[in-house]
Amino acid sequence: MSAAGSVYERGLSGGSAEPFGYGLCIIFLGLFIAVPLWRMKITTLGDLFRIRYSRSVERLAVLLLVPTSVFWAAAQVRAFGQVLSAASGFDPSLTVTVGAAVVIAYTIFGGLLADAWTDLVQGIALIAGLAVLFVVILRDVGTAGLAAVDPAKLQLFDTTARSPLGLVEDWAIPVVGSLVAAELVARVIAARSPQVARNATLAGGAMYLMIGMIPVTLGLLGLGLVPGLAEPEQVLPTIALQYLPTVLYVVFAGALVSAILSTVDSALLVAGSLVSHNLMVPLMPGITERGKVRIARAAVAVFGVLAYVLAMRAERVYHLVEESSAFGSAGIVTVVLFGMFTRLGGPAAATASLVAGVATWILGAHIFALPYPYLTSLLAAVAAYVATAILARATAPVRVTATAG
Protein backbone atom coordinates (compact mmCIF):
# COMPACT_ATOMS: atom_id res chain seq x y z
CA MET A 1 0.00 0.00 0.00
CA SER A 2 2.72 2.44 1.04
CA ALA A 3 5.11 1.63 -1.80
CA ALA A 4 2.49 1.69 -4.53
CA GLY A 5 1.03 4.97 -3.27
CA SER A 6 4.42 6.63 -2.90
CA VAL A 7 5.58 5.50 -6.36
CA TYR A 8 2.24 6.63 -7.80
CA GLU A 9 2.96 10.13 -6.44
CA ARG A 10 6.73 10.45 -6.85
CA GLY A 11 7.87 7.79 -9.29
CA LEU A 12 10.50 5.15 -8.57
CA SER A 13 12.35 7.40 -6.12
CA GLY A 14 9.29 7.08 -3.87
CA GLY A 15 10.27 3.46 -3.30
CA SER A 16 13.63 4.22 -1.70
CA ALA A 17 12.32 3.08 1.68
CA GLU A 18 9.77 0.51 0.57
CA PRO A 19 10.77 -2.00 -0.70
CA PHE A 20 14.42 -1.21 -1.48
CA GLY A 21 15.59 0.23 1.83
CA TYR A 22 13.79 -2.26 4.04
CA GLY A 23 14.83 -5.16 1.82
CA LEU A 24 18.50 -4.18 2.18
CA CYS A 25 17.98 -3.71 5.90
CA ILE A 26 16.78 -7.32 6.30
CA ILE A 27 19.70 -8.64 4.22
CA PHE A 28 22.26 -6.67 6.26
CA LEU A 29 20.71 -8.03 9.45
CA GLY A 30 21.15 -11.57 8.15
CA LEU A 31 24.72 -11.01 6.99
CA PHE A 32 26.17 -9.30 10.04
CA ILE A 33 23.89 -9.43 13.08
CA ALA A 34 21.56 -12.45 13.08
CA VAL A 35 24.05 -15.09 14.26
CA PRO A 36 25.76 -13.13 17.09
CA LEU A 37 22.35 -11.86 18.20
CA TRP A 38 20.89 -15.39 18.32
CA ARG A 39 23.86 -16.63 20.35
CA MET A 40 23.14 -14.10 23.09
CA LYS A 41 20.10 -16.26 24.07
CA ILE A 42 17.90 -13.27 24.88
CA THR A 43 14.10 -13.27 25.14
CA THR A 44 13.49 -9.72 23.86
CA LEU A 45 15.73 -7.03 22.44
CA GLY A 46 15.42 -5.22 25.77
CA ASP A 47 17.41 -8.04 27.45
CA LEU A 48 20.48 -7.09 25.43
CA PHE A 49 20.60 -3.65 27.06
CA ARG A 50 20.40 -5.17 30.56
CA ILE A 51 23.01 -7.87 29.92
CA ARG A 52 25.53 -5.57 28.22
CA TYR A 53 24.84 -2.35 30.15
CA SER A 54 22.42 -2.14 33.11
CA ARG A 55 18.82 -2.42 34.21
CA SER A 56 18.32 1.36 33.88
CA VAL A 57 19.57 1.32 30.28
CA GLU A 58 17.19 -1.58 29.57
CA ARG A 59 14.23 0.45 30.82
CA LEU A 60 15.19 3.52 28.82
CA ALA A 61 15.69 1.45 25.67
CA VAL A 62 12.28 -0.20 26.06
CA LEU A 63 10.64 3.22 26.42
CA LEU A 64 12.15 4.10 23.03
CA LEU A 65 11.46 0.75 21.36
CA VAL A 66 7.76 0.59 22.21
CA PRO A 67 6.76 3.75 20.27
CA THR A 68 8.42 2.42 17.11
CA SER A 69 6.24 -0.71 17.27
CA VAL A 70 3.15 1.41 17.91
CA PHE A 71 3.95 3.64 14.90
CA TRP A 72 4.42 0.51 12.79
CA ALA A 73 1.10 -0.91 13.99
CA ALA A 74 -0.59 2.42 13.26
CA ALA A 75 0.69 2.29 9.68
CA GLN A 76 -0.89 -1.13 9.22
CA VAL A 77 -4.19 -0.06 10.84
CA ARG A 78 -4.39 2.89 8.43
CA ALA A 79 -3.60 0.60 5.49
CA PHE A 80 -6.32 -1.79 6.69
CA GLY A 81 -8.79 1.09 6.70
CA GLN A 82 -7.76 2.14 3.20
CA VAL A 83 -8.33 -1.38 1.85
CA LEU A 84 -11.77 -1.56 3.45
CA SER A 85 -12.62 1.94 2.21
CA ALA A 86 -11.63 1.13 -1.38
CA ALA A 87 -13.63 -2.10 -1.29
CA SER A 88 -16.75 -0.76 0.42
CA GLY A 89 -16.95 2.92 -0.50
CA PHE A 90 -17.29 3.92 3.16
CA ASP A 91 -15.34 6.87 4.58
CA PRO A 92 -11.74 5.93 5.56
CA SER A 93 -12.24 7.18 9.12
CA LEU A 94 -15.02 4.64 9.64
CA THR A 95 -13.09 1.77 8.08
CA VAL A 96 -9.93 2.60 10.07
CA THR A 97 -12.04 2.42 13.24
CA VAL A 98 -13.51 -0.94 12.28
CA GLY A 99 -10.08 -2.23 11.26
CA ALA A 100 -8.52 -1.15 14.55
CA ALA A 101 -11.21 -2.90 16.58
CA VAL A 102 -10.72 -6.16 14.66
CA VAL A 103 -6.94 -6.00 14.89
CA ILE A 104 -6.86 -5.31 18.64
CA ALA A 105 -9.22 -8.20 19.36
CA TYR A 106 -7.26 -10.45 16.98
CA THR A 107 -3.92 -9.66 18.61
CA ILE A 108 -4.94 -9.95 22.27
CA PHE A 109 -5.65 -13.66 21.85
CA GLY A 110 -2.53 -14.43 19.79
CA GLY A 111 1.00 -15.53 20.64
CA LEU A 112 4.41 -15.67 18.97
CA LEU A 113 4.05 -19.23 17.65
CA ALA A 114 0.56 -18.51 16.34
CA ASP A 115 1.89 -15.28 14.85
CA ALA A 116 4.67 -17.16 13.06
CA TRP A 117 2.20 -19.60 11.51
CA THR A 118 -0.26 -16.88 10.49
CA ASP A 119 2.66 -14.92 9.00
CA LEU A 120 3.46 -17.94 6.85
CA VAL A 121 -0.11 -18.57 5.68
CA GLN A 122 -0.99 -14.89 5.24
CA GLY A 123 2.31 -14.20 3.50
CA ILE A 124 1.57 -16.90 0.96
CA ALA A 125 -1.91 -15.41 0.47
CA LEU A 126 -0.41 -11.96 -0.10
CA ILE A 127 2.12 -13.21 -2.65
CA ALA A 128 -0.61 -15.12 -4.49
CA GLY A 129 -2.91 -12.09 -4.52
CA LEU A 130 -0.20 -9.76 -5.82
CA ALA A 131 0.87 -12.29 -8.45
CA VAL A 132 -2.70 -12.68 -9.74
CA LEU A 133 -3.19 -8.92 -10.00
CA PHE A 134 0.21 -8.45 -11.68
CA VAL A 135 -0.48 -11.10 -14.33
CA VAL A 136 -3.93 -9.67 -15.09
CA ILE A 137 -2.58 -6.12 -15.47
CA LEU A 138 0.35 -7.20 -17.65
CA ARG A 139 -1.99 -9.13 -19.93
CA ASP A 140 -4.11 -6.00 -20.28
CA VAL A 141 -1.44 -3.32 -20.79
CA GLY A 142 1.27 -5.52 -22.34
CA THR A 143 4.83 -4.38 -22.91
CA ALA A 144 3.52 -1.21 -24.52
CA GLY A 145 2.07 -0.14 -21.19
CA LEU A 146 5.39 -0.64 -19.47
CA ALA A 147 7.22 1.24 -22.19
CA ALA A 148 4.76 4.14 -21.91
CA VAL A 149 5.79 4.94 -18.33
CA ASP A 150 7.35 8.40 -18.13
CA PRO A 151 11.18 7.96 -18.04
CA ALA A 152 11.37 10.76 -15.47
CA LYS A 153 9.45 8.48 -13.09
CA LEU A 154 12.09 5.74 -13.37
CA GLN A 155 14.88 7.49 -11.48
CA LEU A 156 15.62 5.64 -8.24
CA PHE A 157 18.01 8.39 -7.12
CA ASP A 158 16.27 11.64 -8.01
CA THR A 159 19.09 14.20 -7.67
CA THR A 160 16.90 16.97 -9.10
CA ALA A 161 14.48 16.76 -6.17
CA ARG A 162 16.93 15.80 -3.43
CA SER A 163 20.54 16.72 -2.66
CA PRO A 164 23.12 13.94 -2.21
CA LEU A 165 22.83 14.24 1.58
CA GLY A 166 19.06 14.20 1.23
CA LEU A 167 19.28 10.89 -0.66
CA VAL A 168 21.54 9.46 2.05
CA GLU A 169 18.95 10.59 4.62
CA ASP A 170 16.13 8.90 2.67
CA TRP A 171 18.00 5.59 2.56
CA ALA A 172 19.49 5.74 6.06
CA ILE A 173 16.07 5.86 7.74
CA PRO A 174 14.89 2.43 6.50
CA VAL A 175 18.28 0.71 6.26
CA VAL A 176 19.88 1.87 9.51
CA GLY A 177 16.75 2.82 11.41
CA SER A 178 15.20 -0.65 11.19
CA LEU A 179 18.42 -2.69 11.33
CA VAL A 180 17.65 -3.86 14.87
CA ALA A 181 13.88 -3.31 14.84
CA ALA A 182 12.25 -5.25 17.65
CA GLU A 183 9.94 -7.12 15.22
CA LEU A 184 12.90 -8.39 13.19
CA VAL A 185 14.92 -9.25 16.30
CA ALA A 186 11.96 -11.22 17.71
CA ARG A 187 12.10 -13.51 14.66
CA VAL A 188 15.87 -13.93 14.78
CA ILE A 189 16.08 -14.87 18.47
CA ALA A 190 13.10 -17.25 18.17
CA ALA A 191 14.72 -19.26 15.36
CA ARG A 192 15.62 -22.91 15.91
CA SER A 193 19.36 -22.40 15.33
CA PRO A 194 21.82 -19.66 14.34
CA GLN A 195 21.94 -21.10 10.84
CA VAL A 196 18.16 -20.85 10.51
CA ALA A 197 18.29 -17.31 11.90
CA ARG A 198 20.83 -16.24 9.26
CA ASN A 199 19.52 -18.15 6.26
CA ALA A 200 15.86 -17.33 6.86
CA THR A 201 16.70 -13.65 7.25
CA LEU A 202 18.72 -13.57 4.03
CA ALA A 203 16.02 -15.47 2.12
CA GLY A 204 13.35 -13.18 3.58
CA GLY A 205 15.25 -10.08 2.50
CA ALA A 206 15.67 -11.39 -1.04
CA MET A 207 11.97 -12.31 -1.26
CA TYR A 208 11.04 -8.92 0.18
CA LEU A 209 12.84 -7.16 -2.68
CA MET A 210 11.47 -9.51 -5.33
CA ILE A 211 7.83 -9.45 -4.21
CA GLY A 212 8.08 -5.75 -3.37
CA MET A 213 8.72 -4.94 -7.02
CA ILE A 214 5.13 -5.90 -7.87
CA PRO A 215 3.46 -2.97 -6.04
CA VAL A 216 6.26 -0.70 -7.28
CA THR A 217 5.49 -1.65 -10.89
CA LEU A 218 1.75 -1.33 -10.33
CA GLY A 219 2.28 2.09 -8.77
CA LEU A 220 4.10 3.22 -11.92
CA LEU A 221 1.41 1.78 -14.18
CA GLY A 222 -1.30 3.24 -11.95
CA LEU A 223 -0.54 6.74 -13.22
CA GLY A 224 -2.06 5.70 -16.54
CA LEU A 225 -4.58 3.14 -15.29
CA VAL A 226 -6.30 5.14 -12.53
CA PRO A 227 -5.15 8.77 -12.84
CA GLY A 228 -6.12 11.48 -10.38
CA LEU A 229 -6.69 9.41 -7.24
CA ALA A 230 -7.52 11.54 -4.20
CA GLU A 231 -5.98 8.85 -1.95
CA PRO A 232 -2.82 7.53 -3.67
CA GLU A 233 -2.50 4.78 -1.06
CA GLN A 234 -5.66 3.22 -2.53
CA VAL A 235 -4.02 2.68 -5.92
CA LEU A 236 -3.56 -1.10 -5.43
CA PRO A 237 -7.13 -1.94 -4.31
CA THR A 238 -8.54 0.53 -6.87
CA ILE A 239 -6.68 -1.15 -9.74
CA ALA A 240 -7.74 -4.54 -8.42
CA LEU A 241 -11.38 -3.46 -8.21
CA GLN A 242 -11.36 -2.25 -11.81
CA TYR A 243 -9.41 -5.06 -13.44
CA LEU A 244 -10.14 -8.23 -11.50
CA PRO A 245 -13.28 -10.36 -11.66
CA THR A 246 -15.24 -10.36 -8.41
CA VAL A 247 -13.89 -13.70 -7.22
CA LEU A 248 -10.26 -12.73 -7.85
CA TYR A 249 -10.81 -9.31 -6.27
CA VAL A 250 -12.06 -10.99 -3.11
CA VAL A 251 -8.89 -13.13 -3.13
CA PHE A 252 -6.71 -10.05 -3.56
CA ALA A 253 -8.47 -7.98 -0.88
CA GLY A 254 -8.36 -10.95 1.47
CA ALA A 255 -4.64 -11.29 0.84
CA LEU A 256 -4.02 -7.63 1.71
CA VAL A 257 -6.15 -7.85 4.84
CA SER A 258 -4.38 -11.05 5.89
CA ALA A 259 -0.95 -9.50 5.55
CA ILE A 260 -2.02 -6.38 7.45
CA LEU A 261 -3.51 -8.41 10.30
CA SER A 262 -0.32 -10.46 10.55
CA THR A 263 1.89 -7.37 10.60
CA VAL A 264 -0.17 -5.58 13.25
CA ASP A 265 -0.18 -8.74 15.32
CA SER A 266 3.62 -8.79 15.28
CA ALA A 267 4.03 -5.12 16.17
CA LEU A 268 1.55 -5.11 19.05
CA LEU A 269 2.87 -8.40 20.43
CA VAL A 270 6.41 -7.01 20.48
CA ALA A 271 5.30 -3.82 22.22
CA GLY A 272 3.31 -5.81 24.78
CA SER A 273 6.15 -8.26 25.46
CA LEU A 274 8.71 -5.48 25.91
CA VAL A 275 6.57 -3.71 28.48
CA SER A 276 5.52 -6.85 30.33
CA HIS A 277 8.85 -8.74 30.26
CA ASN A 278 11.29 -5.85 30.63
CA LEU A 279 9.36 -3.24 32.62
CA MET A 280 6.42 -4.66 34.58
CA VAL A 281 7.39 -8.23 35.54
CA PRO A 282 10.74 -7.24 37.19
CA LEU A 283 8.75 -4.94 39.49
CA MET A 284 6.39 -7.77 40.52
CA PRO A 285 8.40 -10.64 42.06
CA GLY A 286 6.44 -13.83 42.44
CA ILE A 287 3.93 -13.04 39.70
CA THR A 288 2.40 -16.14 38.10
CA GLU A 289 2.61 -17.05 34.43
CA ARG A 290 -1.11 -16.28 34.11
CA GLY A 291 -0.44 -12.84 35.57
CA LYS A 292 2.31 -12.21 33.05
CA VAL A 293 -0.03 -13.09 30.19
CA ARG A 294 -2.69 -10.74 31.54
CA ILE A 295 -0.20 -7.87 31.72
CA ALA A 296 0.94 -8.53 28.16
CA ARG A 297 -2.65 -8.63 26.89
CA ALA A 298 -3.52 -5.40 28.68
CA ALA A 299 -0.46 -3.75 27.14
CA VAL A 300 -1.51 -4.96 23.68
CA ALA A 301 -4.95 -3.40 24.16
CA VAL A 302 -3.50 -0.05 25.26
CA PHE A 303 -1.01 0.07 22.41
CA GLY A 304 -3.71 -0.95 19.94
CA VAL A 305 -5.80 2.06 20.94
CA LEU A 306 -2.76 4.34 20.65
CA ALA A 307 -2.04 2.93 17.18
CA TYR A 308 -5.63 3.68 16.18
CA VAL A 309 -5.32 7.31 17.33
CA LEU A 310 -2.08 7.73 15.36
CA ALA A 311 -3.62 6.11 12.28
CA MET A 312 -6.54 8.54 12.38
CA ARG A 313 -4.27 11.58 12.66
CA ALA A 314 -1.66 10.62 10.06
CA GLU A 315 -1.73 11.96 6.50
CA ARG A 316 -0.13 8.92 4.87
CA VAL A 317 0.85 5.35 5.74
CA TYR A 318 4.33 6.27 4.48
CA HIS A 319 4.71 8.95 7.18
CA LEU A 320 3.92 6.44 9.92
CA VAL A 321 6.34 3.92 8.43
CA GLU A 322 9.10 6.54 8.33
CA GLU A 323 8.42 7.64 11.92
CA SER A 324 8.51 4.03 13.12
CA SER A 325 11.99 3.64 11.64
CA ALA A 326 13.38 7.00 12.77
CA PHE A 327 12.01 7.60 16.27
CA GLY A 328 14.75 6.76 18.76
CA SER A 329 16.40 4.30 16.38
CA ALA A 330 19.64 6.29 16.01
CA GLY A 331 20.50 5.71 19.64
CA ILE A 332 19.15 2.14 19.66
CA VAL A 333 21.21 0.95 16.69
CA THR A 334 24.32 2.77 17.97
CA VAL A 335 24.12 1.22 21.43
CA VAL A 336 23.31 -2.26 20.09
CA LEU A 337 26.19 -2.33 17.59
CA PHE A 338 28.76 -0.92 20.03
CA GLY A 339 27.48 -3.31 22.69
CA MET A 340 27.59 -6.40 20.48
CA PHE A 341 30.87 -5.87 18.69
CA THR A 342 33.06 -3.80 21.04
CA ARG A 343 33.83 -3.47 24.74
CA LEU A 344 33.85 0.32 24.52
CA GLY A 345 31.37 2.12 26.72
CA GLY A 346 29.16 1.28 29.66
CA PRO A 347 25.82 2.39 31.09
CA ALA A 348 26.70 6.10 30.97
CA ALA A 349 27.69 5.96 27.29
CA ALA A 350 24.59 3.97 26.38
CA THR A 351 22.29 6.38 28.22
CA ALA A 352 23.92 9.42 26.62
CA SER A 353 23.58 7.89 23.16
CA LEU A 354 19.92 6.92 23.59
CA VAL A 355 18.95 10.35 24.92
CA ALA A 356 21.00 12.25 22.32
CA GLY A 357 19.56 10.20 19.45
CA VAL A 358 15.89 10.62 20.31
CA ALA A 359 16.21 14.26 21.44
CA THR A 360 18.02 15.24 18.24
CA TRP A 361 15.42 13.47 16.08
CA ILE A 362 12.48 15.16 17.82
CA LEU A 363 14.10 18.58 17.69
CA GLY A 364 15.39 18.22 14.14
CA ALA A 365 12.32 16.59 12.56
CA HIS A 366 9.40 18.10 14.47
CA ILE A 367 10.52 21.43 15.95
CA PHE A 368 13.34 23.03 13.97
CA ALA A 369 12.73 21.17 10.68
CA LEU A 370 16.40 20.47 9.99
CA PRO A 371 17.17 19.36 6.42
CA TYR A 372 18.68 16.01 7.50
CA PRO A 373 17.20 15.19 10.90
CA TYR A 374 17.94 11.46 10.90
CA LEU A 375 21.58 11.76 9.86
CA THR A 376 21.96 14.48 12.50
CA SER A 377 20.43 12.25 15.17
CA LEU A 378 22.65 9.33 14.13
CA LEU A 379 25.76 11.51 14.33
CA ALA A 380 24.67 12.85 17.72
CA ALA A 381 24.06 9.33 19.07
CA VAL A 382 27.48 8.04 17.94
CA ALA A 383 29.28 11.15 19.18
CA ALA A 384 27.54 11.01 22.56
CA TYR A 385 28.39 7.32 22.99
CA VAL A 386 32.07 7.63 22.05
CA ALA A 387 32.66 10.88 23.95
CA THR A 388 31.02 9.59 27.13
CA ALA A 389 32.87 6.27 26.91
CA ILE A 390 36.24 7.98 26.46
CA LEU A 391 35.54 10.45 29.26
CA ALA A 392 34.46 7.65 31.60
CA ARG A 393 37.63 5.70 30.81
CA ALA A 394 39.82 8.76 31.33
CA THR A 395 38.28 9.63 34.70
CA ALA A 396 38.08 6.07 36.01
CA PRO A 397 40.13 5.59 39.21
CA VAL A 398 43.43 3.84 38.68
CA ARG A 399 43.72 0.66 40.72
CA VAL A 400 47.17 0.43 42.40
CA THR A 401 48.46 -2.88 43.68
CA ALA A 402 51.38 -3.28 46.06
CA THR A 403 54.14 -5.71 45.16
CA ALA A 404 56.63 -7.33 47.51
CA GLY A 405 60.12 -5.92 47.06
> What pLDDT shows up at residue 9?
87
Question: What are the extents of the domains in the chain?
Answer: 2-314, 328-393
In terms of Cα–Cα distance, which of 14, 60, 69 is closest to 324? 69
Q: What is the mean pLDDT of residues 91-111?
A: 80
pLDDT at 405: 47
* For the chain, the helix, strand and coil percentages under 3-state DSSP, each to the nearest 5: 80, 0, 20
**Average pLDDT over every residue of 28-53:** 95
Global pTM reads: 0.85
Fold of 2-314: Sodium/glucose cotransporter (1.20.1730)
Q: Are 205 and 22 in contact (CB under 8 A)?
A: no
8-21: pLDDT as tens digits = 988 888 778 888 99
Greater confidence (340 vs 229) lies with 340
Judged by DSSP in three states, 371 sits in: coil
Query: What is the percent of the chain where pLDDT is above 70?
Result: 97
Strand, coil or helix: what is 180? coil
Q: Is the pLDDT of residue 195 over 50?
A: yes
Q: What is the pLDDT of residues 363-373, one digit of tens each?
A: 999 999 899 99
| Orientation angle between helical segments 246-273 and 235-243, nearest 10 degrees | 160
